[in-house]
Structure 1
Amino acid sequence: MKKRFGGLNRYQLPPSLYKFRDILAQFVPPFIFFQVIRTILFPTSVDVLILIILVALEVCFYFEWI
Protein backbone atom coordinates (compact mmCIF):
# COMPACT_ATOMS: atom_id res chain seq x y z
CA MET A 1 0.00 0.00 0.00
CA LYS A 2 1.37 3.37 -1.01
CA LYS A 3 1.50 6.06 1.67
CA ARG A 4 0.50 9.57 0.88
CA PHE A 5 2.44 12.47 2.33
CA GLY A 6 1.54 16.12 2.24
CA GLY A 7 -2.13 16.02 3.13
CA LEU A 8 -4.85 16.48 0.52
CA ASN A 9 -4.23 15.38 -3.04
CA ARG A 10 -5.07 18.06 -5.62
CA TYR A 11 -6.96 15.61 -7.81
CA GLN A 12 -9.36 14.60 -5.04
CA LEU A 13 -11.02 18.02 -4.97
CA PRO A 14 -14.40 18.48 -6.68
CA PRO A 15 -14.44 20.22 -10.08
CA SER A 16 -16.56 23.06 -8.71
CA LEU A 17 -13.72 23.99 -6.34
CA TYR A 18 -11.31 24.20 -9.30
CA LYS A 19 -13.75 26.49 -11.11
CA PHE A 20 -14.09 28.70 -8.03
CA ARG A 21 -10.29 28.88 -7.73
CA ASP A 22 -9.96 29.90 -11.38
CA ILE A 23 -12.63 32.59 -11.03
CA LEU A 24 -10.97 33.91 -7.87
CA ALA A 25 -7.60 34.01 -9.67
CA GLN A 26 -9.14 36.30 -12.32
CA PHE A 27 -10.55 38.74 -9.77
CA VAL A 28 -7.46 39.13 -7.57
CA PRO A 29 -5.29 41.34 -9.88
CA PRO A 30 -7.93 44.10 -10.26
CA PHE A 31 -8.46 44.06 -6.49
CA ILE A 32 -4.70 44.40 -5.99
CA PHE A 33 -4.61 47.38 -8.35
CA PHE A 34 -7.53 49.04 -6.56
CA GLN A 35 -5.97 48.33 -3.16
CA VAL A 36 -2.60 49.79 -4.19
CA ILE A 37 -4.31 53.02 -5.27
CA ARG A 38 -6.35 53.11 -2.06
CA THR A 39 -3.26 52.42 0.08
CA ILE A 40 -1.32 55.21 -1.62
CA LEU A 41 -4.15 57.73 -1.17
CA PHE A 42 -5.42 56.74 2.28
CA PRO A 43 -2.79 54.63 4.04
CA THR A 44 -4.15 52.74 7.02
CA SER A 45 -2.95 49.56 8.63
CA VAL A 46 -6.07 47.69 7.45
CA ASP A 47 -5.41 48.69 3.83
CA VAL A 48 -1.82 47.51 4.05
CA LEU A 49 -2.93 44.23 5.61
CA ILE A 50 -5.51 43.63 2.87
CA LEU A 51 -2.89 44.42 0.24
CA ILE A 52 -0.43 41.96 1.77
CA ILE A 53 -3.09 39.23 1.84
CA LEU A 54 -4.07 39.86 -1.79
CA VAL A 55 -0.45 39.82 -2.97
CA ALA A 56 0.20 36.59 -1.06
CA LEU A 57 -2.89 35.06 -2.65
CA GLU A 58 -1.71 36.10 -6.11
CA VAL A 59 1.74 34.59 -5.46
CA CYS A 60 0.03 31.33 -4.42
CA PHE A 61 -1.99 31.32 -7.64
CA TYR A 62 1.10 32.09 -9.73
CA PHE A 63 3.13 29.22 -8.28
CA GLU A 64 0.03 26.96 -8.16
CA TRP A 65 0.29 26.35 -4.43
CA ILE A 66 -3.49 26.55 -4.15
Structure 2
Amino acid sequence: MQVKRAMMAAATRRVLLADHTKFTRDGLYALAPLTDFDVVVVDDGLAREEVRAMRARGTEVVVVERG
Protein backbone atom coordinates (compact mmCIF):
# COMPACT_ATOMS: atom_id res chain seq x y z
CA MET A 1 0.00 0.00 0.00
CA GLN A 2 2.83 2.40 0.80
CA VAL A 3 4.40 1.80 -2.60
CA LYS A 4 1.11 2.57 -4.38
CA ARG A 5 0.70 5.78 -2.38
CA ALA A 6 4.27 6.80 -3.21
CA MET A 7 3.59 6.15 -6.89
CA MET A 8 0.45 8.30 -6.67
CA ALA A 9 2.43 11.11 -5.06
CA ALA A 10 5.15 10.95 -7.73
CA ALA A 11 2.82 10.66 -10.73
CA THR A 12 2.14 13.60 -13.01
CA ARG A 13 -1.19 12.08 -14.08
CA ARG A 14 -3.28 9.64 -12.06
CA VAL A 15 -5.78 7.46 -13.93
CA LEU A 16 -8.16 5.00 -12.31
CA LEU A 17 -9.55 2.20 -14.48
CA ALA A 18 -12.42 0.32 -12.83
CA ASP A 19 -15.52 -1.49 -14.00
CA HIS A 20 -18.91 -0.46 -12.64
CA THR A 21 -19.02 -3.29 -10.08
CA LYS A 22 -16.22 -1.64 -8.07
CA PHE A 23 -18.53 1.26 -7.22
CA THR A 24 -21.39 -0.76 -5.75
CA ARG A 25 -19.68 -2.42 -2.81
CA ASP A 26 -17.22 -1.67 -0.04
CA GLY A 27 -13.68 -2.90 -0.42
CA LEU A 28 -11.17 -3.94 2.16
CA TYR A 29 -9.18 -0.75 1.65
CA ALA A 30 -9.17 2.43 -0.37
CA LEU A 31 -6.01 3.70 -2.01
CA ALA A 32 -7.26 7.26 -2.40
CA PRO A 33 -10.48 9.23 -2.80
CA LEU A 34 -11.76 9.50 -6.38
CA THR A 35 -11.00 13.22 -6.36
CA ASP A 36 -7.27 12.36 -6.12
CA PHE A 37 -7.39 10.90 -9.64
CA ASP A 38 -7.12 13.10 -12.70
CA VAL A 39 -9.26 10.75 -14.77
CA VAL A 40 -11.61 7.90 -13.89
CA VAL A 41 -12.32 5.43 -16.70
CA VAL A 42 -15.39 3.27 -16.15
CA ASP A 43 -17.71 1.15 -18.25
CA ASP A 44 -21.24 2.23 -19.13
CA GLY A 45 -22.73 -0.07 -16.49
CA LEU A 46 -22.21 2.60 -13.85
CA ALA A 47 -25.36 4.55 -13.04
CA ARG A 48 -25.52 7.95 -14.71
CA GLU A 49 -26.16 9.55 -11.32
CA GLU A 50 -22.80 8.25 -10.09
CA VAL A 51 -21.04 9.62 -13.17
CA ARG A 52 -22.72 13.01 -12.70
CA ALA A 53 -21.77 13.08 -9.02
CA MET A 54 -18.10 12.39 -9.79
CA ARG A 55 -18.07 15.08 -12.47
CA ALA A 56 -19.75 17.53 -10.10
CA ARG A 57 -16.85 16.99 -7.68
CA GLY A 58 -14.45 17.98 -10.46
CA THR A 59 -13.27 14.53 -11.53
CA GLU A 60 -12.93 13.87 -15.26
CA VAL A 61 -14.87 10.72 -16.07
CA VAL A 62 -14.52 8.73 -19.29
CA VAL A 63 -17.34 6.23 -19.84
CA VAL A 64 -16.45 3.35 -22.14
CA GLU A 65 -19.14 1.34 -23.91
CA ARG A 66 -19.16 -2.36 -23.10
CA GLY A 67 -18.94 -4.45 -26.19
Relative to total residues, which structure has the larger strand share, 1 or 2? 2
| Fold similarity call, TM over 0.5 | no
| TM-score between the two structures when normalised by the length of structure 2 | 0.28
| TM-score between the two structures when normalised by the length of structure 1 | 0.29
Which one has the largest radius of gyration?
A: 1
Relative to total residues, which structure has the larger helix share, 1 or 2? 1
